[in-house]
Structure 1
Amino acid sequence: MNLLKSTAGLLLILATICVFSCKMTPKKFTDETPTRGTIKIAVDESYQLMAEAELSTFQSIYKDAKVTPIYLSGDSVMKLLLADSINVIISSTKLTDNEVAYLKGKAINARTTKIAYDALAFIVNKSNPDSLIRYNTIKDIFAGKTSKWDQINPKSKLGDISVVFDNPGSNNVKTIMNKFGITGALPGNCYSANKNAEVVSFVEKNPGAMGIISVNWISDPSDSISHSFLTKIKVVSITSEFDSEGSDFYSPHPAYIANQMYPFTREVYTINRETFSGLGTGLTSFIAGDSGQRIILRMGMLPA
C-alpha cells in the first residue's frame, strides 16, 4: 500500500513538472535547419541588389529564417570565409586550389554552387555622345594606349578618360585584369571609389568619366535604386571580342551574355562551408532553384 502511495506521489510530481516545463518551452525551435535559424552571410557588394531581392523573397516564404547580409569587397568577403567568421558568401570568384586545401586541412569541405552569369557594365555620363565603343578600344584604355576621348572620337571635347571602379579589393578590378592579362598596376587614369553607388555618382558628375559596375545595379526598372541609376548615366554597348572592328555593338543584356557576344561576363557563386545542412544550405538551394533563378533574370543577369 505504501509502495502504491509512493508511486502515485512520484507520478503526480512528474506530471506537475511536465506541465510547467511545457508552459515554459518556447513556441519556436531555436535549432537551425535549411528553412529555420539565424545566420549572417557575406556578399560581394556588386551583388547587393540581387541579394536583397533573394533574401526578401526567401524570408517571406520561411518566416523562421533570419539572414543578415554583410556587403563588402570581393577580397574582404573571401577573407571572412577563410577566417571562419562566416559560413556562406556570394562572390564572382571561386576558392583557389590552395584555399580549398587550407579548408580541407581543417576538415571543411566547402561547396561551391554556380547561381548566375553576370556582366560588367561600362557606364558614361549622360552628356557623352560616345556610348558605342569597340572591344579593342576598351583593351587599349587598360593598356594605357588610349587615355583621351578624342582618341575614340576626334570630335570629342571631353578631354581625359577617367576610369572608376568600386574599390581596390573589388572583383570588378580582378575581372578586367584577368581578361586582359594585366599583371602590374592599372594605368594612372584608373581610380577607385568605395561602392558601386559611388561609381554611378562619380560618372553622373564628371562628363569624361567611365565607370565599371555589375549589371544588376542598373537592370531592374522596378527597383527604385536601379531605376534611379538608369536615369543618371548611359550604358555603353561594345563590339564582340571576336569581331572588334565589326558594326554590331552589344549591351550587357542577358541575351548577349548567353550567346557570349557581350565580352565582359563572369560567373557568380555561393560558397558554403557549413558542416551540416543549415540555413545557408537552404538559402543556396532557394537561389539555385526556380524562384531564385527568376529573380536572377529580373536583375539583368543570366540564370545558371
Structure 2
Amino acid sequence: MKKLVLLPHIFGLLAVLGSCNNPQPQENQTIVGGKLQVLVDETLLPVMEEQVAVFEHLYKQADVELSVAQENQIVTKLVNNEVEVAVLTRQLNAEEMTFFEARQFRPRVYRFAEDALALVVNKNSADSVITVDDIIRVMQGKEPVGQVDRLVFDNPNSSTVRYLKDLAGVDSLPATGVYALKSNSEVLKYVYETPRTVGVLGLSWVVRPDSALRRYTDGVKVLGVRSQAGKPGADGYYKPSQSNLAEGIYPLSRSVYIINAEPRKGLGMGFAAFLTGLSGQRIILKSGLMPDSLPPRELIIRK
C-alpha cells in the first residue's frame, strides 16, 4: 500500500509546482486551492464531514463538496470519469481497474483509517452479544438465533450489505429476515423504535452522531461480536473499540481508502495528503475509528 506523507509547511511550495504543471490551468486548482467534489460512502459521512471542516479551515482557498452515494454508485461514477475522488471501504477490483488502464492511468489509492460495522439493538433488548455464525445464518435465509428477528441495513446497495453478503457467501439478500431502509440515520431510528431488530451501521454514526440523532443513539446499544472458530476474535465477544480494531480482534472491521483518479496534481492530492497526514489522522483518532498511523504524542516533563 502506498503512503502519502506531506507536511503542512511544504504545502505552499508544492501548490506552486502543481499549478505550473497543471494541464488544465483554466480550472484554477492547486493542491491547496480550488473546488473539489468528493463522493463518500454514506456510512462514513460523519467522520468525513469533520475532515472537510478542518481542511477548509486550514486552507481557506479550498472548497471541498461532499456528495453522499452508495458504494456501487460511487464506483460507477469513478470508472465513467464522472467524479475523480472518492472515499470507499474497499479498493477497486481488477475488472474495475481495466477501465482506467484503458486510459493508460492508474488511480492513486491511500488507506487512511480502519472502520467497522457496528451492530446495534434497542437498549431494552435482552441481547447484548451475537456471533458471526448467527449473522451468516440470517444472511443465508436460515432461521434466526436468539431474540433477534431481523437485520436492518441502510440501503440494499450499501457497503454494509456488500460486506455481509461476501462474509456469508451469498449473491443476493434473502426474502425474509433482512430489511433495507434508505440511510444510516433511518436505521438508528428504526432500531430505537423496534425491539428484536439488529441495525447494521458504519461505526462513526454510533460514536459521532449529530445532535438530531443523539436521542436515538442514547436509546440503542452496541452488540459484542464473536468471530468464527479458528479466526481472531473467536475467544470472546468484542465491541468495535479502537483497541479491538488495533489488535485485529473485532470480526467486522474494514479498511477505508481515498481513491484519487485526478490525472493531474490537484486538490484531490492535497486532500489525500491531509487525510493521511498528522491532522487527518488525529481527526480519525478522535472520531472513534482507528487511524492508519497513530499520531505521535509529545510529553513535556518539567523539573
TM over 0.5: yes
1:247 Cα shift? 6.8
Structure-2 separation of matches of 1:286 and 1:167: 30
Structure 2 residue matching 1:249: 3-state secondary structure: coil
The yes-or-no answer on 1:282 pairing with 2:270 is yes
Distance 1:87 1:281, change over 3 A: same
- The answer to whether the Cα contact below 8 Å between 1:120 and 1:212 also exists between their aligned partners in 2 is yes
Q: Which moved more, 1:253-262 or 1:134-143?
A: 134-143
- The answer to whether the Cα contact below 8 Å between 1:143 and 1:187 also exists between their aligned partners in 2 is no
Count the aligned residue pairs. 266
1:61 Cα shift? 0.1
The yes-or-no answer on 1:236 pairing with 2:241 is no
Q: CA RMSD in A?
A: 2.1
1:187 Cα shift? 4.8
Structure-1 separation of matches of 2:245 and 2:206: 15
Structure 2 residue matching 1:139: 3-state secondary structure: helix
The residue number in structure 2 matching 1:192 is: 180
For structure 2, the 5+ residue unaligned runs are 1-25, 293-303
Structure-2 separation of matches of 1:229 and 1:49: 15
Q: Which moved more, 1:59-68 or 1:162-171?
A: 162-171
The residue number in structure 1 matching 2:155 is: 167
The residue number in structure 1 matching 2:55 is: 58
Distance 1:192 1:101, change over 3 A: same
1:290 Cα shift? 1.1
Map 1:1-304; keep pairs closer than 5 Å: 31-147=28-144, 151-152=145-146, 161-220=149-208, 223-224=210-211, 227-242=214-229, 248-304=236-292
**TM-score, L = length of structure 2:** 0.82
After TM superposition, the runs of 4+ consecutive aligned structure 1 residues lying more than 6 A away are 243-247
1:182 Cα shift? 1.9
The residue number in structure 1 matching 2:20 is: none
**TM-score, L = length of structure 1:** 0.82
Distance 1:235 1:243, change over 3 A: farther
- The answer to whether the Cα contact below 8 Å between 2:139 and 2:173 also exists between their aligned partners in 1 is no
Output the amino acid matched with 2:61.
D
Structure-2 separation of matches of 1:238 and 1:267: 18
Distance 1:234 1:39, change over 3 A: same
Distance 1:196 1:298, change over 3 A: same
Per-residue deviation, residues 139-198 of structure 1 (Å, max 9, x unmatched): 322233332xxx42xxx5xxx612110101101001111122223433511011011001
